[in-house]
Structure 1
Amino acid sequence: MRSDQWVIRELPNAAARGEIAAFFQSQVDAATGDTVALEALSRWIHPERGVIPPQEFIPVVEESPSMDVLGDAMLRAACTYGAELVAAGRRIEIAVNVAAVQLAQVGFADRVERRLLESGQLPELLTLELTEARPSPPSASAELHRLRSLGLGISLDDVRTVDEADFRAGGLPITEIKVDRSIIERLPEDDEAAVELVACARRHGVRSVAEGVETERQWDAVRRLGFDRAQGFLFGRPMPPEQVTERLDAEAAGPGQSEL
């Protein structure tokens, strides 16, 4: 039996059992350094195996119906926490990953609208990150245009080249390009690809986000090159919502009150 068979066997019911949890990672404004968004990242809290990171189970199921179930659980969690932040007086955007198998489902936009209504999350504070390095299914364009008309953001995740960005963005109402960590980790010594991708984002009239910022030198380069936002371990690792709230409280209290 393949070593990942247990994932295929157990994941479909993990969400129903309450084992899928959302951790959140900060995204900061490149001009101010303030936290302006949070990306929801899945963790599987397995009763026997402990906390399982997404790289150990998502690649196994991303082409299967289980991915749709997992994605819906994350959408619920993202909307719920986003609404809690709004209720507390914090207008912070929440981003959630969306796989091609979800976009291919009939009624995807209807489901997103339901989750917004159920939670009370503001549409303009929710961004859908398209994770596939291939074009979205043909049926997705109308669904995404409909959601964009409500105010949702549409992001291309893990972009590595200008050609890829143009290829994936074709016909979609994107609002953001997230530049892959493999580009950011080469900064500041090799900035050619980053420069081209920032220019590409500007040409499309969308926001540019640097992923995987881990050092002060990379952060300096990201700001110098004109990125709009940045995300990475330098600004904090993914953490459960209660810890994020504590961190935001500390940030609001003033300089020196929050640890990265």
Structure 2
Amino acid sequence: MIKNRMSQKILLYSFILILLIIPLINDSPEGIYEMMWILYLLPPILVLFYHGYKTGILTGLFCVLLQSSYELHEYFLHPEEYSFNNFNVTFAIAIAITTVTLSIGFLMRHREKKQIELEKLSQDLEFLANHDTLTALPNRRAFEQRMDEALQEAKDTDRMFALIFCDLDQFKNLNDTAGHRIGDLVLFEIAQRVKQIIRGEDFISRLGGDEFIIFLDGVSSPEEVTNITQAILSTIEQPIILDTLEYKISASLGIALYPQDSIDPSMLLQHADIAMYQSKARGNGNYTFFTPEMGKALLRQTRLASGLKSALARNEFTVVYQPLCDAKTGEVTSAEALIRWNHSKMGLIPPNEFIPIAEETRIIIPIGEWVLRSAVQEAKRWHDAGHMIIVAVNISCIQLEECHCYQKIQQILAETGLEPQFLELEITERVALSNPEEMIRILNNLRSIGIKIAIDDFGTGYSSLSYLKKYPVHTIKIDRSFIQDIAFEVRDRAMLKALLIMAKSLNFSTVAEGVETPEQFSILSDMGCNVVQGFLLSTPLSGEEFFNFITNRRMEEGQLLSSLG
């Protein structure tokens, strides 16, 4: 097969050459020599036809030079004896020179073509090394190079610049529900939008996943950074239409300034990252400037993350139990198991401080299993003493999605002997909606064996009630924020009443959290709330203290009934 147009041309010229030579051939010895020349030319022509011009030229060069050298050698050594005429000598020399010249020309052209191909390949590799394949934005490597250049320029010119760390909110949920193709298209669209918003001297890079870093060069003041940041948030929040469906995205931004926050590029990036997490803590679609206090918080978080790794082995965790009572009778119906961490050097650490770190590092899986086993063992001890109390245990999304979670819960119940209907698992609204289809499947499996499911801190999450009908929920726990002002705020009482009516219509049991005053207790009881929990009844108690609490309460109830009898 002829490989390229050059090979086609050489083949055509070779056949023309043969057709021109054939008429010159006669029966004389000279004619025989001429036929030998043709025979010498045929091999390279055939090689050229089947293997390409480079191999054909080299073969032709070898054949022609072999014959030509023999002819010229014989002629110059024995011209008086050599019968080859001047035409043949000239022909031999011409063929030799032409073949060498063509060979060199073709090889040089081939080398130039390869050089161009190599240069293009080198450019492509350089682009891939410095750019993200999905968005075509500069990647982390290119960002770091640009940062080094910017720092040197800033030192020379004494100017300020800003780093904005951008993380899309709830992007994992989008990937899980709409699919990774839609997620990729959203990332590409967001990248193009931000690229158009920022100034020509600015720079946007994708670090990976749903994280971007935006470099604002030569800003005059924090106010200018604020204006650009607000414009970025606004363009990100504009609806994205894909496959006729509308997607709304928000982002959390963290800002670090040079030289105020640091002159080190890695520290600047870290500070912007810290500020971004502060934005997330405030809610979706926010931005935050880094402050030194955030750096101190990061140091504390780092120490806590390190301490969590060995806290179980050092027996630094304990489980306490807070009673829940019937709002009508005052009878203790259940207990919520709560973890406490007494750090060996830092003292008592609040759960809302270390639980997020445990979830982020996935240490929550062994810690959560330990809490569940401890609580179930304690509840079995109560049952053996005749106190048929339900124990409620908080469980995280990471624990539920862990591949053997269902089997582990069954195993713990089997090993301790606690009946499943006396175990209640509390999840938050955020957990319930993290991966809806998978979460419904897991919770249905747990509900099928008798375990109760409760939604904790109800009303503080997505403010959407539509998911409730899809989940096998038994109880909703109304967050303390709805309870704390009901004694003197009419609007709060109205909202609480609406929640209780809705729960009753869906046949849910209701628990009011954070009950601290008799007035709150009375209002909740009158409104039809089923169960109350809070400091009015009791603070969280150790296992032994809780056992004594319910024992004494039962004795008091018995004495009251006896006196009434």
Give the TM-score normalised by the residue count of structure 1: 0.92
Query: Per the alignment, in what secondary structure is the counterpart of residue 102 of structure 1?
Result: helix
In 2, the alpha carbon distance for the partners of 1:156 and 1:183 equals 15
Q: Aligned residue for 2:553?
A: 251
Question: Per the alignment, do residues 89 and 165 of structure 1 end up closer, same or farther by CA in structure 2, a change over 3 Å counting?
Answer: farther
- In terms of fraction of residues, the more helix-rich structure is 2
In 1, the alpha carbon distance for the partners of 2:467 and 2:320 equals 27
- Residue from 88, 98, 116 that aligns with 2:413: 116
Q: Check conservation: 1:23, 1:43, Cα contact below 8 A.
A: yes
Cα deviation per residue 1:184-229 (whole Å; 9 max; x = unaligned)?
1121333111111111211221101100000001001110111010
- Residue from 451, 464, 471 that aligns with 1:152: 451
User: Which structure's relative contact order is higher, taking Cα pairs within 8 Å and 6+ residues apart?
Assistant: 1
In 2, the alpha carbon distance for the partners of 1:144 and 1:47 equals 37
Q: Aligned residue for 2:510?
A: 208
- Residue from 183, 187, 205 that aligns with 2:486: 187
Q: Check conservation: 2:340, 2:351, Cα contact below 8 A.
A: yes
Query: 1:66: Cα distance to partner?
Result: 1.1
- Residue from 526, 535, 542 that aligns with 1:240: 542
* Matched ranges for 1:18-167 at <5 A: 18-133=315-430, 135-137=433-435, 138-160=437-459, 164=463, 166-167=465-466
Amino acid at match of 1:142: R
Query: 1:162: Cα distance to partner?
Result: 10
Q: Check conservation: 1:165, 1:177, Cα contact below 8 A.
A: no
Larger Rg: 2
Amino acid at match of 1:224: D
Query: 1:18: Cα distance to partner?
Result: 2.2
1:176 partnered with 2:471 = no
Query: Per the alignment, in what secondary structure is the counterpart of residue 128 of structure 1?
Result: strand
1:199 partnered with 2:474 = no
In 1, the alpha carbon distance for the partners of 2:314 and 2:418 equals 24
The share of aligned pairs that are identical, in percent, is 33
Give the TM-score normalised by the residue count of structure 2: 0.44
- Residue from 527, 533, 555 that aligns with 1:225: 527
In 1, the alpha carbon distance for the partners of 2:356 and 2:498 equals 29
Question: Per the alignment, do residues 73 and 161 of structure 1 end up closer, same or farther by CA in structure 2, a change over 3 Å counting?
Answer: closer
Query: Per the alignment, in what secondary structure is the counterpart of residue 383 of structure 2?
Result: helix
Question: Per the alignment, do residues 2 and 161 of structure 1 end up closer, same or farther by CA in structure 2, a change over 3 Å counting?
Answer: closer
Q: Check conservation: 1:78, 1:94, Cα contact below 8 A.
A: yes
Amino acid at match of 2:483: I
**Gapped runs of 5+ residues in structure 1?**
none
In 2, the alpha carbon distance for the partners of 1:193 and 1:121 equals 38
Q: Check conservation: 1:160, 1:179, Cα contact below 8 A.
A: yes
Query: Per the alignment, in what secondary structure is the counterpart of residue 2 of structure 1?
Result: helix
In 2, the alpha carbon distance for the partners of 1:184 and 1:235 equals 15
Amino acid at match of 1:209: V
Cα deviation per residue 1:140-198 (whole Å; 9 max; x = unaligned)?
22221111111111000001279736245352100000000000112133311111111
Q: Check conservation: 2:430, 2:461, Cα contact below 8 A.
A: no
Question: Per the alignment, do residues 256 and 152 of structure 1 end up closer, same or farther by CA in structure 2, a change over 3 Å counting?
Answer: closer
Q: Check conservation: 1:99, 1:132, Cα contact below 8 A.
A: no
In 1, the alpha carbon distance for the partners of 2:461 and 2:525 equals 20
Segment of structure 1 superposing worse, 126-135 or 38-47: 126-135
Segment of structure 1 superposing worse, 150-159 or 4-13: 4-13
Q: What count of residue pairs does the alignment treat as equivalent? A: 257
- Residue from 295, 301, 305 that aligns with 1:8: 305
Cα deviation per residue 1:82-111 (whole Å; 9 max; x = unaligned)?
111111111000000011111111121111
In 2, the alpha carbon distance for the partners of 1:20 and 1:167 equals 37
In 1, the alpha carbon distance for the partners of 2:497 and 2:464 equals 14
Amino acid at match of 1:177: I
In 2, the alpha carbon distance for the partners of 1:167 and 1:74 equals 31
Query: 1:124: Cα distance to partner?
Result: 0.4
Amino acid at match of 1:179: I
Question: Per the alignment, do residues 208 and 108 of structure 1 end up closer, same or farther by CA in structure 2, a change over 3 Å counting?
Answer: same
Q: Check conservation: 2:512, 2:531, Cα contact below 8 A.
A: yes
Query: 1:73: Cα distance to partner?
Result: 1.4
In 1, the alpha carbon distance for the partners of 2:462 and 2:301 equals 34
In 1, the alpha carbon distance for the partners of 2:541 and 2:553 equals 16
Question: Per the alignment, do residues 125 and 162 of structure 1 end up closer, same or farther by CA in structure 2, a change over 3 Å counting?
Answer: same
Amino acid at match of 1:156: I
Query: 1:55: Cα distance to partner?
Result: 2.0
Question: Per the alignment, do residues 161 and 101 of structure 1 end up closer, same or farther by CA in structure 2, a change over 3 Å counting?
Answer: closer
Query: Per the alignment, in what secondary structure is the counterpart of residue 360 of structure 2?
Result: coil
Query: Per the alignment, in what secondary structure is the counterpart of residue 528 of structure 2?
Result: coil
In 2, the alpha carbon distance for the partners of 1:245 and 1:11 equals 29
**Gapped runs of 5+ residues in structure 2?**
1-297, 560-565
Query: Per the alignment, in what secondary structure is the counterpart of residue 113 of structure 1?
Result: helix
In 2, the alpha carbon distance for the partners of 1:112 and 1:160 equals 28
